[in-house]
Amino acid sequence: MKTTIKDVAKLAGVSFKTVSRVINAEPTVKPETVEKVQQAIAQLHYQPNTAARNLAGTKAYAIGYVYDNPNAYYVINMQNGILRECRERGYELIIHPCQAASPNVIDEIVQMVRKSQLSGLVLSPPLSEMASVMDALDELDVPYVRIVSGSATKRTHRPCVFVHDRDAARNIVEHMISLGHKRIAFISGDKGHRSTEERKQGYREALIDSGLSVDPALEIDGSYSFESGVKGLKTLLEQDDVPTAIFACNDEIASGTLFAARLNGIDVPGKLAIAGFENSPFSRQTWPKLTTAAQPTDEIARDAARTLIDMVQSGRNARFASQEVQHVHFHPELVVRESTYLPD
């Protein structure tokens, strides 16, 4: 038979209302009582009925993840990270893909929040960087946590998870410079993503700090796709002075660049060093394997979900600038592999 809340209450020696308060993380329960109830829940493997909890009152036990990103690995890791936190905290996850460029995207998100009775939202780029989305959610007074590329933003009235792409990109390019490369190209991702600009700025800063010039001809527009890497290398090979190294805005672009290099008989890293960003499976499934920056997407997502659920359960309205807002910071770390450097 399925374990019920009354079974938990009996084992813990408390009322089922007390068990309910513990499950809902209400602050009025004594710590020793919380511990007893949690031990009973673990012993009986009790799983709260989220649908029943939602119907029982006005408080919702579901959060949403709204995204627009063509990178399947990124989206899957985001979903897995959020889902792990939701399962531990007794929340459901509603996943909602949408088109950020759509003229109806704001209405779509607002209607989704209302129909699903969500407790809050996790937003990833580019939606997390759109002022119109934040304005609409503020109007609804819906808690949300943004995942943002960079170390600061003008909209800090709600918690953010900051990913320091610029510093990580600078480290990658500095690594290439340390190997003797002086003509280093950059293949960008989509212009609508702040990560593209942050990584480009890191690339430029590394060149300038090393006394190298920034050549616009070496900055190739692209998108976060394999095909963009293929096209980007083709464009670079048409130049009179071909670069000896390429920093691609993510691993998928870098994989396309590496594929095109092999088609053209270019030795990597002997004649051309290539690096990506994110440490996705693309970086490990190529040969040679790609130098990259390890961006723990699942951990980033989980921290965003944890921050959101903490906000919801504490009843804090982080909308007001007078309240202290706690942010989370991630610093992707350089991972050196064979695509830039072969040890002796």
Tokens of 49: 């009925």
Whether residue 343 is contained in a domain is answered as no
Q: Tell me the C-alpha distance between 223 and 228, whole Å.
A: 6
Q: Report residue 303 CA to chain centroid gap.
A: 10
Please report the pLDDT score of residue 251 as a whole number: 97
Average pLDDT, the chain: 88
- Same domain for 82 and 122, yes or no, is yes
Residues 13 and 117 in one domain: no
Q: What is the pTM of this model?
A: 0.79
Of 300 and 315, the one with more pLDDT = 300
CB 267 within 8 A of CB 331: no
At 319 the pLDDT is 45
Nearest CA-CA partner of 119 in 333, 321, 314, 334: 314
**What pLDDT is stored for residue 51 in this prediction?**
46
Assess contact for 327 and 160: CB atoms under 8 A. Answer: yes
Q: Are residues 38 and 156 in the same domain?
A: no
Q: Is residue 56 part of a domain?
A: no
Residues 291, 191, single domain; the answer is yes
Determine, yes or no, domain membership for 338: no
Residues 171 and 265 placed together within one structural domain of the fold? yes
Same domain as 301, residue 219: no
* Nearest residue to 332 via CA among 164, 182, 90: 164
How much of the chain exceeds pLDDT 70, in percent? 89
Residue with tokens 């929340």: 91
In terms of phi and psi (left: phi > 0; alpha: psi -120 to 50; beta: otherwise), the region of 78 is alpha
- For the chain, what is the domain count? 3
Q: Residues 213-241: pLDDT tens digits?
A: 999 999 999 999 999 999 999 999 999 99
Residues 158 and 275 in one domain: no
Q: Are residues 120 and 156 in the same domain?
A: yes
pLDDT bracket for residue 24 (50, 70, 90): low
Is the confidence at residue 318, as pLDDT, over 50? no
Q: How many CB atoms lie within 10 A of CB 332?
A: 22
| Interval 269-299: pLDDT, tens | 999 999 999 999 999 999 999 999 999 999 9
Question: Tell me, what's the pLDDT at 40?
Answer: 85
Q: Quick one: what percent of the chain has pLDDT higher than 90? A: 61
Give the model confidence (pLDDT) of 27-68 as tens digits. Answer: 678 888 888 888 888 888 877 655 444 444 445 688 999 999
Q: Are residues 228 and 195 in the same domain?
A: yes
Which domain CATH number covers 326? Answer: 3.40.50.2300
Mean pLDDT of 116-123: 90
Domain enclosing residue 138, as ranges: 62-164+297-332
pLDDT for 268? 97
Distance CA 308, CA 321 (A): 17
Domain assignment present for residue 240? The answer is: yes
CB 122 within 8 A of CB 145: yes
Cα 45 to the chain's mean position, in Å? 31
Mark whether 288 and 171 lie in a shared domain.
Answer: yes
CB 60 within 8 A of CB 118: yes
Residue 344 in any domain: the answer is no
Residue range 144-194, pLDDT digits in tens:
999 999 876 655 678 899 999 999 999 999 999 999 999 999 999 998 789
Long-range Cβ pairs for the range 264-272 (8 Å, 24+): 264/233, 264/237, 268/339, 269/338, 269/339, 269/340, 269/341, 269/342, 270/342, 271/244, 272/243, 272/244, 272/245, 272/246
